[in-house]
Amino acid sequence: MICLEPSGVSREAYLSAQQPSPSPQARVPCAHEHPRRSCGVEVPPGQGPGPTLRLIDRVRERDAFVRLRRDGVRVRADPLWCSFVLDPDLAPPQVAFAIGRAVGSAVSRNRLRRRLRAVLANSDVPPGLYLVGARVPACEHTFADVERSVAELLRKVRTHQEAVRTHQESVRTDQSLPT
């Protein structure tokens, strides 16, 4: 670069044309690698199925809702309630949610529904049909509070299941006795 001053004297600046040598930390990915992933040793995928997950299914048919209305037993654990019909033929339990507008905004109702679904998926739910509903203060509860309420609901469901089983066994023994 040449600069001329008013006195006519030129000053030249020295600019090096030499490129710096590559540093030892330079890393160029291989052609078959993703540029943003670390190049590590490939590990073969695990063998066999993964751990079993407790699943819940959705209530899809109108007949199931009619059956819940007709034969359902209702239990409460504030702020939640549950109407259920125990049915051993329904391998993954089928669950529906009834969370009205009074409970909160759409965002808070959907958050509550996701929390309920997550808690039920990680719980030991007996096979059957379930309609789980919520009352107004439910959206203000934390995840731990929702877990406690669902555990209380399921405890009441199992208590009812045991009572029905005991009643059926007593009816069978009464019928087997000679008159």
The residue extents of the domains of the chain are 57-170
Residue 107 carries which side chain, given as an amino acid letter? V
**Non-local CB neighbours of 130 within 8 Å, separated by 6+ positions:** 59, 82, 83, 84, 93, 94, 95, 96, 120
One-letter identity of residue 2: I
Task: Find the helix packing angle between 106-121 and 143-176, rounded to 10°.
Answer: 50
pLDDT of residue 65: 93
d(CA 62, CA 67) in angstroms, rounded, equals 9
143: pLDDT strictly greater than 80: yes
Residue 99 to residue 104: CA distance in whole angstroms:
9
- Considering the four listed CATH numbers 3.40.50.1860, 3.30.200.20, 3.20.20.30, 3.30.230.10, the one that applies to the domain covering 57-170 is 3.30.230.10
pLDDT of residue 90: 85
The alpha carbon torsion through 32, 35, 38, 43 (nearest 10 deg) reads: -30
**How much is the pLDDT for 34?**
61
CB contact set of 176 (below 8 Å; sequence gap of 6+): none
CA atoms of 37 and 15, how far apart (whole Å): 38
pTM of the model: 0.65
pLDDT at res. 19: 76
The per-residue pLDDT for 32 is 63
Say yes or no to pLDDT of 4 above 70.
no
Q: pLDDT tens for residues 89-128?
A: 888 899 999 999 999 999 999 999 999 999 999 998 999 9
Distance between CA 12 and CA 4 in Å, rounded? 9
